[in-house]
Amino acid sequence: MTTTYVLVHGAWHGPWAWERLVPLLHAAGARTVTPDLGAPSDHGLHDDARTVVAALDSVPHGDDVVLVGHSYAGLVVREAADARPDAVGHLVLVDGWAGPDGVSLFDLAPDSFAAALRGAAAASPDGDGLTIPAPPPAAFGITGAADTAWLAPRLVPQPLRTFTEASRLRGAVDSIPGTAVHCRPATYPFDRFGAALGYRTRALDGPHDVMLTDPEPLARLLLEAPA
């Protein structure tokens, strides 16, 4: 039976975030789907979850599905899996924000984090206050010259509503086993978010955007996750 990895990128990113990882999964015989959460400025968490539900519905019937969410997409994939629990065999959070029903990313984050991003949205050049300009690559742990030059022009503004909208879960997602991969050194308590949901936790040395800098060890963890 074929395993399909549905890889969901985080905030300010796009499907390109997985470019260095996808060939490694394909080499192991897996299929991949990389939905694009790029959206209008008024999009929210529920809109992104619907995009991932559509991606799950596109997977060939009978495939084993591993649903992977990076960073902000931890909340997205849990809401999508809650809507399609029979379609997902395993959930993986990669430095993922995640929590119970009714919480938003800003609820999980420190007050200073939320205040800084609200301020950035209010001061954004487009003037609508609905989007958060992309931070520099260093905010994602990317400091090498080559990776910085590759990442910086690809980052896009993020709708503020994706961080303020509360997750909407019925409880079906709690029946799906999960793995929480947390990067070291830690930036936020992603290991605790996963453990609180009953997921097994796996440490991985690397920055928040570990799929860019260390795709091979991340691929190994993803390939091992369903077991």
Residue 125 has pLDDT above 80, yes or no: no
Decide: 104 and 166 in contact? Cβ < 8 Å: yes
Write down the pLDDT at residue 206.
97
Residue 20 has pLDDT above 90, yes or no: yes
Residue 57 CA to its chain's centroid (Å): 19
Q: What is the CATH number of the domain that holds 27?
A: 3.40.50.1820
Question: Mean pLDDT throughout 123-143?
Answer: 90
* C-alpha span between 224 and 227 (Å, rounded): 6
Residue 223, CB-side half-sphere exposure with 13 Å CA sphere: 17
pLDDT band at 64 (very low <50, low <70, confident <90, very high): very high
How many domains would you assign to the chain? 1
Number of helices followed by number of strands (H, E) in the chain: 10, 8
Question: Mean pLDDT throughout 91-96?
Answer: 98
Question: Mean pLDDT throughout 82-91?
Answer: 97
Decide: 197 and 69 in contact? Cβ < 8 Å: no
pLDDT band at 127 (very low <50, low <70, confident <90, very high): low
DSSP assignment of 138-176 = GGGT--SHHHHHHHGGG---EETHHHHSPP---SGGGGS
What is the share, in percent, of the chain residues with pLDDT greater than 90?
92
What is the share, in percent, of the chain residues with pLDDT greater than 70?
99
Decide: 4 and 55 in contact? Cβ < 8 Å: no
Range of the domain at 204: 3-224
pLDDT band at 167 (very low <50, low <70, confident <90, very high): very high
Decide: 218 and 68 in contact? Cβ < 8 Å: no
Report cis status (omega within 30 of 0) of the bond before 15. no
pLDDT band at 7 (very low <50, low <70, confident <90, very high): very high
* C-alpha span between 137 and 125 (Å, rounded): 19
Write down the pLDDT at residue 92.
98
pLDDT band at 39 (very low <50, low <70, confident <90, very high): confident
Does residue 9 sit in helix, strand or coil?
coil
Q: Of 122, 93, 102, 209, which is closest to residue 164 (Cα–Cα)?
A: 102
Write down the pLDDT at residue 97.
98
* C-alpha span between 53 and 21 (Å, rounded): 22
Residue 40 has pLDDT above 90, yes or no: no
List Cα–Cα distances, 19 to 13, 39, 52, 143, 144, in angstroms: 12, 20, 18, 19, 18
